[in-house]
Structure 1
Amino acid sequence: MSRDTDTTSGAASVAADRTPVLVVDDDPSMRAGLRQWMRLAGFEPVEAVDAEAALGRIDAAFPGCIVSDVLLPGASGVDLLRRVKEIDSELPVVLMTGHGDVPMAVEAMRQGAADFIEKPFDPDLLAAVVRRAVERRRLVLENRALTRRLQDLNGLAARLIGESAQMRALREQISHFAATDASVMIVGETGTGKEVVARALHDLSARAGGPFVALNCAALPETMVEAELFGHEAGAFTGAGQARAGRIEQAEAGVLFLDEISAMPLALQPKLLRVLQEREVDRIGGRGTTRVDIRVVSAANMDPHRAVSQNLLRQDLLYRLNAVEIRIPPLRERGGDARLLFDSFVNRFASDYGIEPAPLAADDAAFLLAHDWPGNVRELRNAAERYVLNTPMGAPALRTLAGGARDMEDMRRHGRLRDLMEGYERRVIADALRRHGGSVAAVLAELDLPRRTLNEKMTRLGLTRGDVDPSMDA
């Protein structure tokens, strides 16, 4: 894009920042006056000569108000009011009337007009009336957006299933940070659901109406990443027959999700850093820059600081990407969430395939909790799908479907349900002690156990006092 075009875009951006006011009048001189007054008052006028043209310029998301003459060719301003209320009952309409039309205007107020103003009118009075209407509209749209967010928030537990303390904390983080526009880095092992978290951040944010554009930096050849991300002009390289916007531009007013960020070629990272700093993108072969309004959410399946130390990720880029860092716990640290997830996936696949799933056997239920699930939620989902599909033929044991040879051997060696459950319980408590550095108070809080119960379990499971704080009461 040329610099001259940039200037034009800047002017358009200023206009876009103003609240639109739809002006409806068949008198050109009146429309010219209203156009000037609206702009002086800080609004962006949109014009129509009759009711039909006006209706073509609005929908339920129109962010401003309508100022219309009562006397229009064809349908009247009052007719327009009725039609507008069918589109959105809370879209404000201000009617302009001549002296003899006041009774009609009063009737229009009863039908839901926001206000009316009598010609000839003081421009300052008109501006005040429009400001009140626009402010009312702003509050209506904000309340609707808040309602949608609350509905989405209630649905967050359906997207990120789990009742473990880690998952409750994760959902709380998402709902909090979604309301900001800060760059977020999501860190988690493969299969933990990093894109699910990224989409939740988008859907709960003020950018929910904008696009969610994803790019997996590890899924493309290094030579293609630059063109995919930054776009190119026609003729920029062999095969570039026409100009193409990159993922950055495609994410305008929305969220750009960069998965596997540490796989991005090092040579391109300074160019991405510049986009984040300057909020403008330069296409390959371009002669100018384009301003962009995006939120960047990135993801890594390894500790980002380790990626920096291994020269996979620039440190200055990391500082731009992880203003907020959200870590997703692996499934093996989420306690009974594995059973909740499995049941959810089984129900979904049973519906998709029209198969009635078999009840889960006791040793399968124990396996769900005892297995490490190295592939995390993705592996569990696959096991649930195979379980449903194999049900009509007599589903084999879940440990067989999961394909874990080590776990099959463990099950043969410790086949009794009691042994399996004790092994799982021991591992959960030992892992919690390790995570909290031996802090018994933190373990009690995480596992929601009374101190006496924890003591009894540690004794029964062979976890000695030396494994925890020696000051713990017997």
Structure 2
Amino acid sequence: MTDHPAKVPVLIVDDDPSMRAALRQWIRLAGFETREVATPDEALTRLSRDFTGCVVTDVMLDGEDGMSLLRRIVELDADLPVVLITGHGDVPMAVEAMRAGAYDFVEKPFDPDHIADVVRRACDKRMLVMENRALRMQLTDSAGLESRLLGASSAMEALRRQVLHFAATDAAVLIVGETGTGKEVIAQALHDFSPRKDGPFMAINAAALPEAMVEAELFGHEAGAFTGADRRRVGRIEAAGGGVLFLDEIVSMPLPLQPKLLRVLQEKKVDRIGGTQPVDVDIRLVSAANLDPAEAVRSGHLREDLLFRVNAIELRVPPLRERGRDALLLFDTFVNRFAARYGLDAPAASARDEAFLLTYAWPGNVRELRNAAERFVLNAPVSPQPLEALVTGRHDTGALPAAGGLKDLMDAYERNLIEGSLRRHGGRIQEVMGELNLPRRTLNEKMTRLGLSRERTGLADTTET
């Protein structure tokens, strides 16, 4: 016998109050919640594809028979179990109903234990249907999210799992990551895969607006609130009602306005500029920062009490340089997309291009890589260049061979890897050793063999640590 969680609903449809009362008692004793109506029309207002229990209905109802109700329920959701209660003379009709999709029928007079058992089995079946639907939806969402947040690295796989999990909640999310890592894409996904997906997605960049405009953009204003306010304006917070407000660069929000945003999050009300009555709002806040939020608090750019409100969930987005071979996957995807957009053939990346993709630090992250792919596609038919030249502007890119054997390619890969690490760490050998997990002697030998030095990388004046 399956134990059912509390509050699994059973809808009782019967025009006889005494029968409804009896069914209520027996079904509740079996551990279910009951909802009771007298007519088919009332029943249909209580049902949807999200209904998690079953329906128990008499075959003979005042004004409409149970068969008609069954057909309407099957149209709504063919997997919603319907249990029919029949009199002795109604058995042929009940058999017909079974053929039409009813789950089972119980003949009057019936044993209370028997109807409880039928209801229990019907709800077992419904729970299995709902679990399978949720699994299929999760798989669909996962595939859809994978096309947005591209990457096969473990860091990106973990990030996609987090996004899908937290999208189902209504908690405030703070997305932390470097510029160009795709924070707005993640915010949009948190909206699109959430119960708020049919509501608005309102985005505002606090760093991109003059300080004088931020308050009016976020909170709105009444007519006459200030010079030039000739009519009422609804702010972004209010316009995001029922959906998601994405506040990018939250650490750039003027400090005097941060308590006002805190009140919105605490009280679920917004005060328009010049208004006398607060306006109720229903939003989910997703915010983003390219600085460490704790450091923003220490430096006085972000109130600590606001941070506690906006980061109930904190998502860290890895920079591209920490995502391994994802750069190759992303570049190939972007190249094919831009080739299709511009009606051009997709150029193939050479070995030297791939080595550069894997060793360049990509300070602009995915945004910079996307721009590089677009330039790569557009230049290929008329002025093909190594990817490194397109990205860095350096045309002395002889470090990577256009072609060659495996040793040449491996040497070129190592050279770019070590040179990239030297540049990232300002020539500090100890940090290069740590990043590449190489002892000093091995690193020195490789640098000598590959013709690398701190002077060659333009870091001769850097103090070694």
TM-score by length of 2: 0.70
Moved more, 221-230 or 118-127: 118-127
Structure 2 equivalent of residue 461 of structure 1: 447
The structural deviation recorded for 1:92 is 3.0
1:370-421 per-residue CA deviation (whole Å, 9 max, x = no partner) reads 443332211211221233234444544434543x33xx15526x46465652
Q: CA deviation at 1:305?
A: 2.7
Match of 1:7 in 2: none
Greater shift in the superposed pair: 148-157 or 230-239: 230-239
| 1:425-451 alpha-carbon deviations (Å, 9 max, x no partner) | 2156667999997997x966xxxxxx9
In structure 2, relative to structure 1, the CA distance for the partners of 1:425 and 1:371 (3 Å cut) is closer
**2:327: which partner in 1?**
338
Residue in structure 2 matching 1:423, options 399, 409, 415: 415
Measured against aligned partners, the alpha-carbon deviations of 1:270-319 in whole angstroms (never above 9, x if no partner) come to 122233334x2234226355363x54332111222332234321121112
1:51-450 pair list within 5 angstroms: 60-62=49-51, 65-66=54-55, 68-71=57-60, 76-95=65-84, 97=86, 100-114=89-103, 116=105, 137=126, 140-154=129-143, 156-164=145-153, 166-171=155-160, 173-174=162-163, 182-202=171-191, 212-230=201-219, 241=231, 244=234, 246-247=236-237, 250-252=240-242, 255-278=244-267, 280-284=268-272, 285=275, 287-288=277-278, 290=280, 292=282, 294-402=283-391, 404-405=392-393, 408-411=394-397, 414=399, 416=401, 420-427=412-419
Aligned-pair CA distance for 1:78 = 1.9
- The letter for the 2-side match of 1:426 is I
For 2:241 and 2:125, how far apart are their aligned partners in 1? 30
The one-letter code matched in structure 2 to 1:318 is L
Partner Cα separation in structure 2 for residue 245 and residue 81 of structure 1: 48
Distance 1:380 1:394 in 2: 19
Please list the CA deviations of residues 89-142 of structure 1 after superposition, one character each: whole Å capped at 9, or x if unmatched: 212334454553244234424543245567899999999987886676455334
For the residue of structure 2 that corresponds to 1:312, the secondary structure is coil
The 2-side partners of 1:319 and 1:66 are apart by: 45
TM-align CA RMSD: 4.9
CA contact (8 A) 2:249 2:287 kept: yes
Distance between the aligned counterparts of 1:250 and 1:211, measured in 2?
6
1:56–1:276 distance in 2 versus 1, CA, 3 Å: closer
Aligned to 2:456: none
**Equivalent residue of 2:151, what SS?**
coil
Going from structure 1 to structure 2, the CA distance change for 1:93 and 1:461 (only over 3 Å counts) comes to: farther
One-letter code aligned to 1:108: A
TM-score, scaled to structure 1: 0.68
Instruction: State the alpha-carbon separation in 1 of the partners of residues 428 and 315 from structure 2.
Output: 21
The separation in 2 between residues aligned to 1:99 and 1:234, in whole angstroms, is 72
Unmatched tracts of structure 1, length 5 or more: 1-17, 445-450, 464-474
| C-alpha distance in 2 between matches for 1:126 and 1:227 | 62
Q: Distance in 2 between matches of 1:245 and 1:106?
A: 60
Q: 2: distance between equivalents of 1:198 and 1:435? A: 39
The 2-side partners of 1:267 and 1:184 are apart by 22
How far off its partner does 1:369 sit?
3.4
Instruction: Note if contact 2:181-2:317 (Cα within 8 Å) is conserved in structure 1.
Output: yes
Partner-residue secondary structure (3-state), 1:272: helix
Residue equivalent to 1:11: none
2: CA distance, partners of 1:235 / 1:123: 69
Matches of 2:372 and 2:288, distance apart in 1? 25
Q: CA separation in 2, counterparts of 1:133 and 1:207?
A: 31
**Given that residues 21 and 67 in structure 1 are in contact (C-alpha distance below 8 angstroms), is that contact kept between their aligned partners in structure 2?**
yes
My pick for the range that moved more, 103-112 or 237-246, is: 237-246
What is the rounded CA distance, in whole Å, between the counterparts of 1:200 and 1:434 in structure 2? 40
How many residue pairs match? The answer is 425
